[in-house]
Chain A
């Protein structure tokens, strides 16, 4: 079969004289396939190689997408293909070696969350990336959600005055029964567990909005269905400014149809509650165009369209941001440096829980 009609040039969106960026994807699981699909709608990016050893994935791509070169090893892909950027979407314990190899090749890198499995490794990779041209991004997708981006802007503008407390909660139904606990998601050493695999989104959201906490206390890592890893995380962040925040993550909550992040921020001038679709602001006095009392903003009021919709606005936006930054080299909204801060906080949480790293 010939290559996809839209894999390089969708109608009505010619890329003019810009050079097409050649992309490789390492790991074609759920997220790798999603990124491959989203790039299918990008006028300037062509995925020319995929490295994966799952037979079903390589068979499907081999049969239907002969324009994509398939590799069993990422080293071989990096060695043989002239790439501009690479997406790493493997289990997290494999990230660091792949990032090093991609940095050796001078590539722009998008790596799925969590960045790595240790703060010192994340800092080393972030420091290395600063010396390599291109852009280097971690897949913390909440940073690209329309509502959370507005919350960030409002907090930065000081809408709530001095911040006193927050909650960052995340719920979902990833593990909802006793299982045989096979696969990388049920082992800490491969990057599994609710904290890394799921909760890193809630923790990164807190880091994005409030920065790195100075102390982490009161951590509980609780198994519900899993036998040797947590399904629920409860922890508290303390900041020198006096701000304190709680984080609650539960990936065994069947009442949620899909993963949901919620935040609540309490400040001296009012309160903000937000999730991916809805923002409520209570103010003691009118400010920044908001009335005194309750203000409600829905996603339908504030969304910005994306050229190609696959799983949600933010998924397209984060990957298009990556491709755009790979070209312009402008500041990345979810850079390796940011990812290293979140990784450090993950370390603090595990240390507080008495987990040996």
Chain B
């Protein structure tokens, strides 16, 4: 069974993503416009003992991966939690050109094609095998993480939840097999529908995978609702869960937010931090709860 890190530094703040306020999102986009600001945040986090970084394969992530490779000696124990794909890239391309042209464009990028040993073959070899297309798209996205210690590869939530709604069981099975085989990493799924996804994965025969979903006391981005999540976490879980959006983009005070997910027995937290002080606050709060739990001999549900 995979051992998930207790604290994983999320990446939304670096890319101007805030689910509560577009104004806050804008401020974050401005603050982290220069990649060196992101790099500073990584160093600060690593110095504070964080050993796990989440990174979505968006336009700017390649540059960050380059930095982490070039400075690997400064992050010797780092584990990456990758997420693929960057959905807005595909959404915009599909909106503009349609599905087929998007595939052609993505696969026609020479670097991607040569990397995959597909130069010259075009799309023709792929027609008729949609899971094959999926694995190739994953490989295109994952190429930026080469030579980094990737522990988990999450399928991004827009894609996970779309495929969940379409009930495409074989995709989930093929994805998790591919991630284990090709990257020797743990397959993961980001979702806004944790209880439904877990039941679906289990009935589809998906093994040794992990889930990351929003868990917060407001019930924000938790479908069908907060009560269903609370009920879900009273039962044993086949797929270890990492909680994200614990602050509901800033709506919940840190201490309450962390206490809530720990009450549900969730040990692994993906957290965002827009400043060094925020980061420090989350880490200290989580660790002080750890110490309390140790003292009280509370058994971890990890």
Contact = CB atoms under 8 A, between A and B. Distances in A.
B97 A36 contact: no
A56 B200 contact: no
A199 interface: no
Nearest to B226: A305
A300 B20 contact: yes
Contact of A4 (B92, B96, B167): B167
A294 interface: no
A300 B248 contact: yes
A299 interface: yes
Interface in B216-237: 218-226, 228
Contacts of A11: 199
B164 to A, nearest CB: 7
B19 A175 contact: no
Nearest to B165: A37
B223 A260 contact: no
Nearest to B221: A309
B117 interface: no
The SS class assigned to the B binding surface is: helix
Contact of A5 (B163, B199, B223): B199
Given A30-B91, A56-B130, A57-B99, A37 B164 contact: yes
A92 B162 CA distance: 23
B148 interface: no
User: Interface centre among B19, B25, B165, B192, by most A CB within 10 Å?
Assistant: B165
Interface string B198-222: 0110011000000000000011111
Interface residues of A, number: 57
Contact of B224 (A39, A174, A308): A308
Contacts of B101: 182-183
Contacts of B225: 305
A275 B22 contact: yes
A41 interface: yes
Interface stretch (A58-66, A82-90, A120-128, A215-223): A58-66
A55 B158 CA distance: 23
B11 interface: no
B170 A56 contact: no
Contact of A12 (B17, B130, B228): B228
B125 interface: no
A173 B91 CA distance: 10
A287 interface: no
A150 B219 CA distance: 20
A239 interface: no
Interface in A268-284: 275-278
A277 B20 contact: yes
Nearest to B22: A275
Interface string A1-42: 101111100111100000000000000011001101111110
B263 interface: no
A344 interface: no
B161 A10 contact: no
**Nearest 10 pairs of A and B residues by beta carbon:** A4-B167, A37-B165, A40-B165, A309-B192, A300-B251, A309-B223, A305-B225, A307-B224, A60-B130, A298-B20
Interface of B: 15-17, 19-23, 25, 88, 91-92, 94-101, 103, 127-128, 130, 158, 161-171, 192-193, 196, 199-200, 203-204, 218-226, 228, 248-249, 251
